[in-house]
Amino acid sequence: MKRTGRIHVLKTSEHCGYLVSFYPDGGGGWVPDRACVGQEELRDVLQTLGAEGGRLERTLREADEGKSQSLNLLVDEGQLRALGFM
């Protein structure tokens, strides 16, 4: 099943890390954050969630600059489970 939601990316001050959060549209309760170490892991997570092309590259660049990013995506629940968001 697919669900829409917002993906937030925030650069952390620890070990070149990023926190990725998923907020489902229409609520649905708390969803754990996903910690990523480095740009490659962040890229892999965002691609698995469906980010691609210019949106993906802009999100990676701006997250690296320390700007919080937010994407609205249609995500498969299986992908969310595989990444630990459910």
pLDDT one digit per residue (tens) for the chain, 86 residues: 888 888 899 998 777 799 999 888 887 767 788 999 999 999 999 999 989 999 999 999 999 888 887 888 888 888 888 888 87
- Is 69 part of a structural domain of the chain? yes
- Predicted local confidence at residue 9, as pLDDT: 93
Note whether residue 58 is domain-resident: yes
Work out how many domains the chain is built from and give that number: 1
pLDDT at 84: 85
pLDDT of residue 39: 92
The verdict on residue 68 lying in a domain is yes
Would 86 be classed as within a structural domain? no
Give me the DSSP letters along 52-71.
Answer: -HHHHHHHHHHHHTT--EEE
Residues 61-72 as b or e (16 or more Cβ within 10 Å = b): eebeeeeebebe
Domain that holds residue 63: 2-80
DSSP per position, 15-29? TTEEEEEEEETT---
- 85 in a structural domain: no
Q: Is residue 65 part of a domain?
A: yes
State pTM to two decimals: 0.86
Q: Per the domain annotation, does 16 fall within a domain?
A: yes
